[in-house]
Amino acid sequence: MNRRTVVKGLLLFTGGLVLAPSCVMETSKASIRLKNLDISGEDEKLLGEVVETILPTTDTPGGRTLGLHRFTLKMVDDLRGEKDQKAFTDGLDAFKKLAKKELGSSFMEASPQKRQELIAAVNAGKAPQDVLAFYKLLKDHTITGYLNSELVMTKLRVYELVPGRYNPYFPVKTKQQS
Amino acid sequence: MANLNVDSVKQRTFDAIVIGSGMSGGWAAKEFTGKGLKTLVLERGRDVKHLKDYPTTNMLPYEFEHRGELTAEIREKNPVVSRCYAFREDAMHFFVKDTEQPYVQEKPFDWIRGQQVGGKSLLWARQTQRWSDFDFEGPARDGFAVDWPIRYKDLAPWYSYVEKFAGISGNNDGLAELPDGDFLPAFPLNSVEDHFKKQLKAHYGNRHVISARCAHLSKPNQIHLEQGRAQCQNRVLCQRGCPFGGYFSSNASTIPWAERTGLMTLLPHSVVQEVIYDEKAGKATGVRVINAQTKEATEYFAPVIFVNASAFSTNQILLNSTSSRFPNGLGNDSGLLGKYVAFHNYRARITAEYEGFQEYATDGRNPAGGGYIPRFRNLHKQETDFLRGYAAGFRADRSKNSDTSGFGADLKNQLLNPSWGIWKVGSHMMGETIPKAESQLSLSKFKKDAWGIPLLNINLDYDANDDKMVADYHAQMEEMFTKAGFTNIQKTDSHQAPGLDIHEMGGVRMGHDPKTSLLNKYNQLHACPNVYVTDGACMTSTSTQNPSLTYMALTARAVDHAVSEMKKQNI
Ligand SMILES: Cc1cc2nc3c(=O)[nH]c(=O)nc-3n(C[C@H](O)[C@H](O)[C@H](O)COP(=O)(O)OP(=O)(O)OC[C@H]3O[C@@H](n4cnc5c(N)ncnc54)[C@H](O)[C@@H]3O)c2cc1C
Ligand code: SF4
Q: Is A6 a residue whose pLDDT tops 60?
A: no
The model's pLDDT over B434-482, given as tens digits with 9 standing for 90+, comes to 999 999 999 999 999 999 999 999 999 999 999 999 999 999 999 999 9
Interface of A with B in 13-32 (CB under 8 A): 14-17
- DSSP letters for B14-41: -SEEEE--SHHHHHHHHHHHHTT--EEE
* Contacts for B375 with CB less than 8 Å, ≥ 6 apart: B134, B177, B389, B390, B391, B432, B543, B544
- What Rg, from alpha-carbon coordinates, does chain B have? 24
A175 vs B: CB within 8 A: yes
Q: Find all residues with CB under 8 Å of B37, minimum gap 6, and list them.
A: B14, B15, B16, B263, B563
pLDDT of residue B471: 98
**Best residue for ligand 2 mutational test, from B122, B237, B251 (most atoms within 8 Å of Cβ):** B237
Q: Which of B316, B548, B549, B555 to mutate to test the pocket of ligand 1 (most atoms within 8 A of CB)?
A: B548
- Region A73-84: mean pLDDT is 97
The confidence band for A25, taking pLDDT boundaries of 50, 70 and 90, is very low
pLDDT score recorded for residue A3: 33
With beta carbons under 8 A apart, name residues in chain A contacting B358. 172, 174
Pairing between β-strand B16-19 and β-strand B305-307 as defined by DSSP bridges: parallel
> In chain B, whose CA is at the least distance from the CA of A161?
B235
Chain A residues near residue B234 by CB distance under 8 angstroms = 162-166
User: Over the stretch B206-221, which tens digit does the pLDDT of each residue have?
Assistant: 999 999 999 999 999 9
Digit-coded pLDDT (tens) for B26-73: 999 999 999 999 999 999 999 999 999 999 999 999 999 999 999 999
CA–CA dist B354, B264 (Å, integer) = 53
Q: Are strands B264-267 and B39-42 parallel, antiparallel or unpaired?
A: parallel
Give residue-wise pLDDT tens across range B338-370: 999 999 999 999 999 999 999 999 999 999 999
Give the integer Cα–Cα distance in Å for B68 and B63: 9
Q: Closest Cα to residue B119, out of B59, B36, B29?
A: B29
Give just the sign of the alpha carbon dihedral B188, B193, B194, B197: negative
Q: Is the pLDDT of residue B334 over 90?
A: yes
Q: Kindly report which listed range (A10-24, A144-158, B519-533) carries the lowest average pLDDT score.
A: A10-24
CA nearest ligand 2 atom 1, residue: B236
A15 CB neighbours in chain B (<8 A) are 62-65
How many whole angstroms separate alpha carbon A130 and alpha carbon B469?
45
Select the residue from A18, A37, A82, A169 to test the B interface by mutation, using most B Cβ atoms within 10 A: A169
Given CB atoms, is A6 within the 8 Å cutoff of chain B?
A: no
Residue B95 backbone dihedrals phi, psi, to 5 degrees = -110, 150
Asked whether the CA dihedral B262, B264, B270, B274 is positive or negative, the reply is: positive
B290 close to ligand 2 (CB < 6 Angstrom): no
pLDDT at B115 over 60: yes
Mean pLDDT of A160-166: 96
| Helix/strand/coil for B99 | coil
Tens digit of each residue's pLDDT (9 = 90 or more) over A95-117: 999 999 999 999 999 999 999 99
Cα of B128 from ligand 1 centre, angstroms: 14
Average pLDDT, chain A: 86
With a 6 Å cutoff on the Cβ, whether B220 touches ligand 2 is no
DSSP B86: T
Asked if A170's CB is within 8 angstroms of B361's CB, the reply is yes
pLDDT band for B7, please (50, 70, 90 cuts): confident
Give yes or no for a contact between B558 and B547, defined as CB atoms under 8 angstroms apart.
no
Q: What is the residue-wise DSSP string for B280-343? A: TTTEEEEEEEEETTT--EEEEE-S-EEE-S-HHHHHHHHHT---SS-TTSTT-SSS-TTEEEE-
Quote the CA–CA distance of B32 and B179 in Å, as a whole number.
Answer: 28
Residue in A14, A169, A178 closest to B63 by CB: A14
Q: Give the pLDDT of residue A18.
A: 42
Phi then psi dihedrals of residue A123, to 5 deg: -60, -30
Pair type for strands B419-420 and B400-401: antiparallel
In whole angstroms, give the CA distance from residue B477 to residue A23: 62
- Please check whether residue A13 is in contact with residue A71, taking contact to mean a CB–CB distance below 8 angstroms: yes
User: Is the distance from CB of B414 to CB of B402 less than 8 angstroms?
Assistant: yes
Q: Judge contact between B237 and B204, C-beta under 8 A.
A: no
Domains and CATH numbers, chain B: 12-57+93-170+250-344+434-460+501-571 (3.50.50.60), 176-211+347-387+389-433+462-497 (no CATH)
Residues of B in contact with A139 (CB under 8 A): 404, 407
Q: Are B251 and B268 in contact (CB under 8 A)?
A: no
Ligand nearest to the CA of B47: 1
Pocket test for ligand 2, best of B234, B248, B253 (most atoms within 8 A of CB): B234
The per-residue pLDDT for range B266-319, each reduced to its tens digit, is 999 999 999 999 999 999 999 999 999 999 999 999 999 999 999 999 999 999
Nearest CA distance, B237 vs chain A (angstrom): 9
Q: Which residues of A touch B64 (CB under 8 A)?
A: 15
Contact B420, A176 (CB under 8 A): yes
pTM for the model stands at 0.95
Does B58 lie at the interface with A, CB-CB under 8 angstroms?
yes
Distance from CA of A126 to the nearest CA of B (A): 14
